[in-house]
Structure 1
Amino acid sequence: MTTAVIGVFAGCNESTSPKTTVSGSLVESGAGDYPHKIRIDNSLDHDVTVTVTVKRDSSKVYQETHTVAAQMSRTVAGITKTRLAGNDQSVTVIAKDTTGQSTEITASVSNCLGNIIFFFNSDEELNSTYAIC
C-alpha cells in the first residue's frame, strides 16, 4: 500500500526552485519562500505518489501529482497569499494516494494559519490535522 505524510507548513525556509505556475497565482508549484508550504513527507521504505489538489470556492487552483522517494521530504508547492480577495478566506487542500485513499482540510488563509498536515497512521489510514494561532 502506498502512503505518505503531506502538509502545508507556514514560515519554513527552504531553497527556491523553478515553478510551473504563473507568478502571482494563489498556489505555485515547487519549493519557495511561501507563507504556507505544501509538503510531502515520506518516512516509508518505498516511493510514494500523491496527487495534491487545492480548491478555492469550487474552482481548482492547483492540481499536480508528485512522487517522493523513500525516507525523503519535499516541498511541492506553496500558498502564496496571507489574505484572499473577498469575504471567504478559505481554501481546501486535498491529498489522494495511488490506493484511492483521500482526505482534505479546509482552512482559512491568514497570517495565523499554521501547519496543515495529512498523515497515515500505523494502519496506513490517511488522516489530517491543522493548527492555527
Structure 2
Amino acid sequence: MQKWIPSIIVMAGIFYMSSRTSAELNHMFPFFEDLNWGHLVAYFILSMTFMYAFVGKFSLKKSMVLAVIFSVIYGFTDEWHQMYVPGRTPDIHDIVNDFIGATLGSFIYYLWLVKKLKHK
C-alpha cells in the first residue's frame, strides 16, 4: 500500500489544480500561456508514480503499459471534473498531452530501471 502514496499525492495535486479557475491558474503559472504543458508535466510525473507502484508486481513492460493506462484513465476523470469548474472545459487536446506525458514518463522510468538492473 505504501507504494501507492506517491500516486495518491500526485492525483490529489492534479485534482486541486483542476479545481482552480482559468484565471487562478494563469495567475499561479504565468509562464504557461497554455496549460497543455501542465498536463504533459503532471502526467509525466503521475505515470512514474504508477510505475513505482506496479514494479515488482508485474514485469517492467507490463508495469509501463499499466502506468500509461492508469494515467490516461485518470486524465479522463480530470477532464470530466473540469466540466464542473467555472471557466474550465474538457478538452481532447488535454487527454492527448496526458497520454504523451504519461508515455514519456513511464518510458524514462523503464529505461532508468533497466539501466539500474544491468549495473547490479
Q: Tell which structure's C-alpha radius of gyration is larger.
A: 2
Q: TM-score, normalised by structure 2?
A: 0.29
Greater fraction of residues in helix = 2
Greater fraction of residues in strand = 1
Q: TM-score, normalised by structure 1?
A: 0.27
